Structure 1
Amino acid sequence: MPVATLGTVVLDCPDPVALGRFYASVLGGEIEDDGEGWVDLKGAQGGVALSFQGAPGYVPPKWPAPDASQQFHLDLTVEDLDAAEKDVLALGARVLDADDRARSWRVYADPAGHPFCLCAC
């Protein structure tokens, strides 16, 4: 029997509302802002819940950087890599590693600098 269940994955960021809106646009759902630096993404399809926490002095992870941790990343499953790439870039993501177009995944950074991958299903 497990000791606990996973409640949410929390991303530190400089602007929780803005990052919550980015992921709501990518994954669906609605954001709930507690007004005190914490935002939950509610109603997104399947998967683990996401929350966003304001972090004064936030420094985004570096990718790739052998001397610095990326902390973690999200793998987001998509039907069409090219279409999904256009969408996330329009929402404010930036490319970290998408040069190998033959791969089934590409790496991006969200607007706060967290790495995430679009992965073909």
Structure 2
Amino acid sequence: MAVAELGVVVLDCPDPRALAGFYSEVLGGSVEDQGEWVDLRLPGGQALAFQEAPGFVPPKWPAPDHSQQFHLDLTVQDLDAAEKAVLELGAKPLDTADRSRSFRVYADPAGHPFCLCAC
């Protein structure tokens, strides 16, 4: 028997509204603005939340002395089309070394790493 169930993944960031807007363009869903806390309700009932964090310092990737803490894996049908879309939305590529892999690594506008993964 589980002790708990996952409620929501929360990303600290300097501008919760802007980051929720980025992920709503990438994943769909509706943004619910509550000031320093913003929820993104995704299709299917999942959610991401974004919390204002004064003094936020983005993780560095890859950097063994500055842990990335976590990252999101986002599955896509077409890596090239998804890459074009996230770059237009403000993502930055973090690893362009091996384009033949089934995943690609980016940073969202606040600097959190995420991967687009071919399904």
Common fold: TM-score over 0.5 = yes
Aligned partners of 2:92 and 2:107: how far apart in 1?
Answer: 5
Alignment-derived partner of residue 38 in structure 1 = 37
For residue 57 of structure 2, give the secondary structure of its aligned residue in structure 1: coil
Worse overlay, 93-102 or 60-69? 93-102
In structure 1, which of residues 98, 103, 108 is the aligned counterpart of residue 101 of structure 2?
A: 103
Q: CA offset at residue 47 of structure 1?
A: 7.4
Q: CA offset at residue 45 of structure 1?
A: 2.9
Aligned partners of 1:46 and 1:99: how far apart in 2?
Answer: 34
Alignment-derived partner of residue 90 in structure 1 = 88
- Equivalent residues in 2 for 1:18-29, closer than 5 Å: 18-29=18-29
1:65–1:101 CA distance, 2 compared to 1 (3 A): same
Aligned partners of 2:56 and 2:89: how far apart in 1?
Answer: 21
Structure 1 gaps, min length 5 = none
Give aligned pairs, total: 119
Alignment-derived partner of residue 5 in structure 2 = 5
For residue 19 of structure 1, give the secondary structure of its aligned residue in structure 2: helix
Q: Which runs of 4+ in 1 moved over 4 A?
A: none
Which residue identity is paired with 1:23? Y
Deviations 1:26-63 (A, max 9, x none): 0000110112x000001x23474200000000000000
For residue 11 of structure 1, give the secondary structure of its aligned residue in structure 2: strand
TM-score (norm 1): 0.95
